[in-house]
Amino acid sequence: MMNLRKLGEFGLIDLIKRMTGESSGVIKGIGDDCAVLPFDRKNYLLFTCDMLVEGIDFTRRDKSDLIGRKSLGVCLSDIAACGGLPRYAQVSLGLPASMSVSRARELYRGIIFQARKFKVAIVGGDISRSDKLIIDVSLVGLVKKRNLVLRSGAKKGDIIFVSGELGGSFYGKHLAFTPRIKEANYLVNNFKVNSMIDISDGLLQDLGHILKQSNQGAVIFEDLIPISENARKSEEALYMGEDFELLFTLPLAEARRLQKRSMRSLAKFSAVGEIVNESCGLVFLNRQGKKVKVKAGGFTPSFQQSSVGVEKERAGFRHF
Amino acid sequence: MMNLRKLGEFGLIDLIKRMTGESSGVIKGIGDDCAVLPFDRKNYLLFTCDMLVEGIDFTRRDKSDLIGRKSLGVCLSDIAACGGLPRYAQVSLGLPASMSVSRARELYRGIIFQARKFKVAIVGGDISRSDKLIIDVSLVGLVKKRNLVLRSGAKKGDIIFVSGELGGSFYGKHLAFTPRIKEANYLVNNFKVNSMIDISDGLLQDLGHILKQSNQGAVIFEDLIPISENARKSEEALYMGEDFELLFTLPLAEARRLQKRSMRSLAKFSAVGEIVNESCGLVFLNRQGKKVKVKAGGFTPSFQQSSVGVEKERAGFRHF
């Protein structure tokens, strides 16, 4: 009898996708950072959720305040990836009865910190008892129709960018990242962004999602990748995941225009490669200009072992 | 150091409510069955979520298909309680890696069954690994502005009704109930419903929520309460919870009008009491016409022992 470990997360997501099918009246359902739904003449509704589980997405030793920030932060990162602004959140908590009230208060303080920072109203939730701490946040936002960016819009010749720096997230940043709402809105309001995703599974795996949904290939140059000073190996910037930076593509002329601007209040944007023919697949060129075979899979398939080997027990979450 | 068991769920919800505060642009935030948010000229957006935890809201022995139905069903029941229609759902799953694929498929089949029945599009979700099975569904719906019903609208002289039959839910119905979407929409489209809630904590406790938020009292007549044939003691109809029936109040003339109609395709509606002055509190008259002291608390405070004693380990979930 096959179990979920064997099927793997992507297998399960494919299964769910097949079972669910498509629904009329849905602009974009399963398969992007957010669901995209009708709202009014000028805007779409964005809808996303993320579940954090103790021992998987954080440990009991992590600061409650930071766990709270992360729980809303990962949803904010999804709204950013679609070019939208967040509005309303629901917070479901599974809490151990033995948890101290002060720890619960700290957790919620972290959630409220993020909510205020990004103008999100916490409008409800649910509480259940659970042996392990579970936080599931669902978030509704809005995006101007002309600003909506999906994973599926990358075009041949597009320049591939990332925001901020990659790698080393598991040594701390995965709990204390800044969701790139401001950066994403700057981009979609000023540039023609063809495709975008947030880096939760690792640069190469998330780029893989864009390529698959856009029917394109890509060339990535190792020496262009902005590596975080927290990274212990440069490989982490490719595979580690949970960077929660933006990965996006712009037509060449737009890319040139972006590179001329410098916005001090925003994370920097780095060009890391180019979209090419689908038949080329995903080509990774190392510092010596040599093609390196890209490992299959990113860092965070929850039901399987990670391919990198750093903190194997911390397998992340996965949207579908 | 105080822990959550000691603080209790309502204590925690109060704490969260105080910490969160109110947000501008939110019609109704924490404190009703759904959050009520701006949508368009004629409609409000409804937004709710419910988390089910293995060992609390269901057991490992329960059928996966029914667990799936329940997970969406409890959210549907919230939308019903506000007089709305459901639209889009996100499903977060915490799954044991050892779970068989066929069991996961069954679970999802139950979710899809409910979704199709009530015309809900499943538009996304999240998967995480978890020792125990966790399902958190968030649901967005719409309600016509003139149809919106909250807990806070009960008026002196209103007749108190329930749909269907109460009690015995934990012997099976809590997994296999019919969310009262049809009944609720029939009511709000044809009658002036002053207040409504779904019975998740037990008749008396949920009525208590209406009374508190409406600043009213109530008299309930034991012999008017429709007791399910599944109930083993009539007390279960008062305290057990997880009936997921509607509890609502109508002005007298509307109540008379409702009682004259009979809709064969709907669950029956039973008058069980009357709204009275707040100073009377909640008065419960037994079959002998004697006042009986109402027990504090309902069945499902997750962090505490239940007051009834049937399946103590199955403490439910709680909205806020």
In chain B, whose CA is at the least distance from the CA of A13?
B127
Select from A7, A35, A97 the Cβ nearest to the Cβ of B88: A35
Q: How far is CA A309 from CA A62, B186, B282, in A?
A: 20, 57, 60
**Using the beta-carbon criterion (under 8 Å), do A140 and B16 form an inter-chain contact?**
no
Which is nearest to A245 in space by CA: A164, A313, A160? A164
**Using the beta-carbon criterion (under 8 Å), do A56 and B112 form an inter-chain contact?**
no
Edge-to-edge strand list for the sheet holding B318-319: A35-38, A43-53, A134-144, A85-95, A121-129, B318-319
Kindly provide the ipTM of the predicted complex, given to two decimals. Answer: 0.91
Q: Over 60: is that where the pLDDT of A313 sits?
A: no
For residues A47-73, average pLDDT = 95
**Using the beta-carbon criterion (under 8 Å), do A50 and B126 form an inter-chain contact?**
yes
Q: Over 80: is that where the pLDDT of B193 sits?
A: yes
pLDDT at residue A305, rounded to an integer = 35
Domains present along chain A, CATH in parentheses = 24-146 (3.30.1330.10), 149-292 (3.90.650.10)
**Using the beta-carbon criterion (under 8 Å), do B124 and A30 form an inter-chain contact?**
yes
In chain A, whose CA is at the least distance from the CA of B123?
A29
Mutation target vs B (from A4, A87, A314; most B CBs, 10 A cutoff): A4
**Using the beta-carbon criterion (under 8 Å), do A126 and B50 form an inter-chain contact?**
yes
Q: Over 60: is that where the pLDDT of B316 sits?
A: no
CB < 8 Å to B8, chain A: none
In chain A, whose CA is at the least distance from the CA of B96?
A4
Select from A3, A15, A37 the Cβ nearest to the Cβ of B123: A37
pLDDT at residue A295, rounded to an integer = 64
Q: How far apart (Å, rounded) are the C-alpha atoms in residues A173 and A235?
A: 16
For residues A243-267, average pLDDT = 94
**Using the beta-carbon criterion (under 8 Å), do B317 and A3 form an inter-chain contact?**
no
Mutation target vs A (from B14, B27, B51, B299; most A CBs, 10 A cutoff): B51
* pLDDT confidence band for A162 (50 / 70 / 90): very high
Q: Which secondary structure element, helix H or strand E, spans residue A239, and what is its range?
A: helix A236-239
Lowest mean pLDDT segment, chosen from A96-110, A302-316, B103-117: A302-316
Q: Give A179-234 pLDDT, tens digit per residue.
A: 999 999 999 999 999 999 999 989 999 999 999 999 999 999 999 999 998 888 88
Q: Assess B49–A contact: CB distance below 8 Å, yes or no.
A: yes
User: Vertex B70, ends B247 and A318: CA angle to 5°?
Assistant: 130
Q: Assess B132–A contact: CB distance below 8 Å, yes or no.
A: yes
Q: Over 70: is that where the pLDDT of A293 sits?
A: yes
**Using the beta-carbon criterion (under 8 Å), do A126 and B49 form an inter-chain contact?**
yes
Q: Give B122-175 pLDDT, tens digit per residue.
A: 999 999 999 999 999 999 999 999 999 999 999 999 999 999 999 988 888 889
**Using the beta-carbon criterion (under 8 Å), do B124 and A49 form an inter-chain contact?**
yes
| Token output for A110 | 């972290």
Q: Judged by CB atoms within 8 Å, which residues 76-105 of A form the interface with B?
A: 87-88, 90, 92-102, 104-105
Q: Which residue is it, tokens 């790698």?
A: A167
Q: Over 50: is that where the pLDDT of B90 sits?
A: yes
Distance from CA of B43 to the nearest CA of A (A): 11
* Chains A & B: contacts with CB separation below 8 Å: 277
Q: Give B252-297 pLDDT, tens digit per residue.
A: 999 999 999 878 899 999 999 999 999 999 999 988 989 987 765 5
CB < 8 Å to B37, chain A: 87-88, 123, 140
Tell me, letter by letter, the H, E, C secondary structure of chain B.
Answer: CCEHHHHCHHHHHHHHHHHHCCCCCCCECCCCCCEEEECCCCEEEEEEEEEEEECCCECCCCCHHHHHHHHHHHHHHHHHHCCCEEEEEEEEEEECCCCEHHHHHHHHHHHHHHHHHCCCEEEEEEEEECCCCEEEEEEEEEEEHHHCCCHHHCCCCCEEEEECCECCHHHCHHHHCCCCHHHHHHHHHHCCCCEEEECCCCHHHHHHHHHHHHCCEEEEEHHHCCECCCCCCCCHHHHCCCCCCEEEEECHHHHHHHHHCCCCCCCCEEEEEEEECHHHCEEEECCCCCEECCCCCCCCCCCCCCCCCCCCCCCCCEEC
What is the overall mean pLDDT for chain B?
A: 90
Percent of chain A clearing pLDDT 90 (strictly above): 75
